[in-house]
Amino acid sequence: MHTCTIRESFTSLAIIGEKEILCFLKKNHNSQTKVCYRQQIERGEHYFSNPCLCICCLSQTLISSISLIHNSDLVVSPRFAGKISPLGEGSKKLPQALIIGVKKGGTRALLEFLRVHPDIRAVGAEPHFFDRNYDYGLEWYRDLMPKTLEGQITMEKTPSYFVTREAPARISAMSRDTKLIVVVRDPVTRAISDYTQTLSKKPDIPSFESLTFKNRTTGLIDTSWSAIQIGIYAKHLDNWLQYFPMDQILFVSGERLISDPAGELGRVQDFLGLKRIITDKHFYFNQTKGFPCLKKAEGSSKPHCLGKTKGRTHPNIDPEVVQRLRDFYRPFNMKFYQMTGRFFGWDH
């Protein structure tokens, strides 16, 4: 943390990729000197509540891409995005492939693993363009992208796209050829993972068990609770199939991404039309973390595991409630296996 001078008044939050420096500008600031928060963050993760952007901290050499806004009272400043001229060769292109979901499916792991591939360039943070930031327009969106050379694929991941009604039409309007990737995970564990994340930010929320039911006595599940709603994959997929053919959507198993990352990455590379460069040689299983990690992260020679927010310990949930949820999801899962032609094995 250090002090510096703000030259302009912005109400925004920006994540700078690659070197992973996050700076904010204080809303309604009235002094010329502000504190600048500099922090190493996990790629794309940004749990900051103190809005103070310090533009003078942004050394040009550290800037490669700017993305994102999460906090509802903060908005991306298009003025800011336009001011940054990223270094490097090539030109910024709209993404040709997107990881559209699902929340807590393993989307960060997939993107971090894919970034190892020399023909993939990806935005670190989640741009939320096709849900929250669509009004900024495609030029704003393109400006968030890293520069790419001929033959390289531009990507981003925003897991909420999968459950956003408007997203398929909007993505199709950008390009009907966009390749879509969905990391899916057992909807019951996904829901618990989702709840665990909310709990880590708001420890006072009701129990998982009480949020699950509209009425615990009748056993009626509250399908309006987003943690439950997101896992009805067949229903969301229907919406995508109105705009995209099935062969333009790849489903990655969140479970296999953990048990056999190289196998799933092989399928993804094939789907993207890339040479299979990411193989089992790139991974090792980190016993402490309990997950596969990269032997070398992109642009580094050091081993890299995902951060503390990935692979959280889940609270124990009443087994009866878990069973009730399994029963609830079973028909939707069956439909989803049928639609995708892949058996994910969640009900076994």
Ligand X SMILES: Nc1ncnc2c1ncn2[C@@H]1O[C@H](COP(=O)(O)OS(=O)(=O)O)[C@@H](OP(=O)(O)O)[C@H]1O
Q: How would DSSP label each residue in 140-192?
A: HHHHHSPEE-TTPEEEEE-GGGGG-TTHHHHHHHH-TT-EEEEEE--HHHHHH
How far apart (Å, rounded) are the C-alpha atoms in residues 143 and 132? Answer: 16
Does residue 104 have an active-site annotation?
A: yes
Q: How many helices (H) and strands (E) does the chain have?
A: 11, 16
36-55 residues in contact with ligand X (CB under 6 A) are: none
Site string for ligand X, 86-125 (x = CB under 6 A): -----------------xxxxxxx----------------
Task: Compare residues 80 and 208 and give the one whose CB is closer to ligand X.
Answer: 208
189 is in an annotated binding site: no
* Contact with ligand X (CB under 6 A) among 141, 233, 291, 346: 291
Distances in Å between the Cα of 102 and the Cα atoms of 173, 191, 205, 289, 347 are 22, 11, 23, 22, 19
Task: Give yes or no for residue 306 binding ligand X (CB under 6 A).
Answer: yes
Site string for ligand X, 319-348 (x = CB under 6 A): ------------------------------
Q: 93, 312, 326, 335: which one contacts ligand X (CB under 6 A)?
A: 312
Element of type H or E holding 22: strand 21-24
Sign of CA dihedral 171, 169, 141, 201: negative
Helices (H), 242-318: 254-259, 261-271
| Residue 334 Cβ vs ligand X, minimum distance, rounded to whole Å | 24
Q: Please check if 121 is assigned to a binding site.
A: no
Q: Does 164 bind ligand X (CB under 6 A)?
A: no
Please say which residue, 77 or 133, places its beta carbon nearer to ligand X.
133
Is residue 176 a known part of a binding site? no
Catalytic-labelled residue, pool 104, 147, 202, 289: 104
**Distance in angstroms (rounded) separating the CA atoms of residues 226 and 211:** 10
C-beta of 24 vs 162, nearer to ligand X? 162
Q: Closest separation between CB of residue 314 and ligand X, Å?
A: 6
- Write down the least CB distance from residue 294 to ligand X, Å: 9
- Could you give the string, one character per residue 241-270, with x where binding to ligand X holds by CB under 6 A and - elsewhere? ----------------xx------------
Flag whether 312 is marked binding: yes
When binding is defined by CB under 6 A, the residue of 193, 212, 269, 340 that contacts ligand X is 193
Residue 284 carries which side chain, given as an amino acid letter? Answer: Y
Q: Which is nearer to ligand X, 6 or 99 (CB)?
A: 99
- Contact between 88 and 111 under an 8 Å Cβ cutoff? The reply is no
Q: Do 89 and 149 touch, CB atoms closer than 8 A? A: yes
Q: How far apart are the first and last CA of the chain?
A: 50
* C-alpha span between 8 and 2 (Å, rounded): 18
Min separation Cβ 302 and ligand X, Å:
16
Instruction: Decide if residue 159 touches ligand X (CB under 6 A).
Output: yes
Least Å from the CB of residue 123 to ligand X: 13
In whole angstroms, the minimum distance from the beta carbon of 254 to ligand X comes to: 6
Alpha-carbon dihedral sign for residues 85, 90, 91, 94? negative
Q: From the centroid of its chain, how far is CA 279?
A: 22
Rg, C-alpha atoms of the chain:
21
Report in angstroms the alpha-carbon separations of 127 from 13, 27, 172, 252, 339: 12, 21, 17, 21, 29
Q: Give the nearer residue to ligand X in terms of CB position, either 221 or 293.
A: 293
Provide the annotated binding site. Answer: 104-108, 185, 193, 310-314
- Residues with a catalytic annotation lie at 104
Provide the annotated binding site for 3'-phosphoadenylyl sulfate. Answer: 104-108, 185, 193, 310-314
Write out the residues near ligand X by the rule CB under 6 A: 103-109, 159, 193, 196, 257-258, 291-292, 306, 310-312
